[in-house]
Amino acid sequence: MARQFQFLNTPEGEVVEIAVRGRQITTRPMINFGTGYTREERHALGLNGVLPPAVTPIETQEKVAYSQYQKQPDNLSRYTFLMSLQDRNEVLFYRVLAEHLDEMLPIIYTPTIGQAIQEFSSWFNVPRGAFCSIDDIDNLDEALRSSNQGPDDIDLIVVTDSEGILGIGDQGVGGIRIAVGKLSVYTAAAGIHPLRVLPVVLDVGTDNLSLLHDPTYLGARHARVRGERYDEFVAAFVESATRLYPKAMLHWEDFGASNAHRILETYRDQHCTFNDDIQGTAAVVAAAVLSAVRANGERLSDQRVIIHGAGTAGVGIADLLREEMVREGTDPAEAYRKFWGMGSRGLIHTGGKMRPFQEPYARPAEELRDWQVAVPGEYRLLDVVQNVRPTILIGTSAQPGSFTEQVVREMAAHTERPIILPLSNPTSLAEANPTDLLEWTDGRARIATGSPFPKVEYNGVTHTIAQANNALVFPGLGLGVIACRATRINDEMIAAAARVVAENTDASKPGSGLLPSMDTVRAVSAMVAVAVVEAAEKTGVATVHLANPIQDVFQLMWNPVYPKVKAVVNEFTPKPKNPN
């Protein structure tokens, strides 16, 4: 099939065949290398006169772009600058990102992207991804084909319905930016080729009244569709996506609590599908917990765990930690009893209101009869801490400051090295500040957070605050799935990813973080991918055997460098003009 341009892997390295000419090249981000084109390439591609005469290597272009980035006045301006660069010269964008990933990850993804999503309709510019509307379900194929990619060309689809975006809730059609941002991380962290991915938003309306009353809003202008019609739309999308792109992994992102678990359970045994909010969050948090428990010289099975915010993410964390306890030899039924889940009404217990996915963690009502509580019949966080004496406290509640001094001091009074993870983000929603946690525990707390926090000095020790960033897990997971063409993503693969991340840090050193630094994420992603490949082969879901997984994974990772250019002629090549 004739193409305007095509990237090819050859024994000599990556080659791009380009059929378009002149200014057409400068409007296509993946082949617009700007002044990076050599004089020979300019002559072959009709770029003489289109570009200034100087030839600038990508290393110099990166330094110039980074200097421009540094001059931006605030984080949203930095985000806008990077997105403009991606829309102009995508290879250079990824080169800049790769050189400064630790610094720029909070810009292209959480937390800065949240503000960009909220303002999506106000400054919509270059469209990226596929917009699939529930009001146009008959044309799903057309929407998904808009990328002009063939059935073998897409390895990864990130899809959102935008209901549960980054602690800011329902953002309607603007959620496409979360899918775009997620895929940027896949590429920067794990080298998944940017042309082999597809961001998708499922526009089912919005319950955000501010958006519905905004005359500039670009999505479906009606309340969010739910129930049978919603399920039929999701099913139609899955059928269309898996038929058009049969090799693609489906990544579900930021679906609401009422749908996320149900959708994952519906499709996980039918297709290669993954929910980062459930499984990715669980893996990186499990890695932090495993790292902390190992540093304490203890077993995971001996811990008592409170999950403050036992929703989609919280229960996903509990599920993976419970499975790890079972792998240690704990009886499956006993492992459930190691967890106390907190919902919006307090402790989840039998006889109370709960969602189906929370039911396995409901505490028996008779267990609570002898508890001492502040208000009879109510079981709030402090009550649970006082009665349970937890060793691990995990926050996924989006309730800022809920890990109060009284709660933390009570916990620290009964455990030598309390493991405390305030994971809600952005920073404004964190359950506690690491500085306070160290103060209230006399420097004994082992901490990981959901948002980035600076290092903290306490009693002469500099404490690195690990960020439980899913980017330590999902890029490598996706890379591993692609490498072995796994047909499913199972619990063993998720657990393998978590263990690898935990093994890549030593939290026993004073002040050390519980997780690897984000500036090592590309190496960590490769290691995660190898572990995922091995788990996939062991569990029988790999369809491609890798004789040398380390080398094969390494070779699969795309690097942001300008490829060798080959000018080709096909139906897209402009015909020479007749001088007469």
Positions marked active-site: 109, 182
- Which residues have a Cβ under 8 Å from the Cβ of 279 and sit 6 or more positions away? 264, 316, 320, 489, 494
What is the identity of the amino acid at 549? P
CB 477 within 8 A of CB 526: no
10 Å CB burial of residue 548 (0-12, 13-18, 19+) is exposed
CB 252 within 8 A of CB 273: yes
- Which residues have a Cβ under 8 Å from the Cβ of 369 and sit 6 or more positions away? none
What secondary structure does DSSP assign to 521-560, as a single string? Answer: HHHHHHHHHHHHHHHHHHTT--SS--SSHHHHHHHHS---
Plot region of 571 (φ>0 → left; ψ -120 to 50 → alpha; else → beta): alpha
156/116 Cα distance (integer angstroms): 23
74/82 Cα distance (integer angstroms): 13
Rounded to 10 degrees, the C-alpha dihedral 439/462/500/391 comes to: -20
> How far apart, in Å, are the Cα atoms of 151 and each of 496, 512, 543?
30, 46, 17
Per DSSP, 159 falls in state: E
Residue with tokens 């319950």: 207
CB 497 within 8 A of CB 521: no
Mutual angle of helices 176-190 and 474-484, in 10-degree steps: 70
184/197 Cα distance (integer angstroms): 10
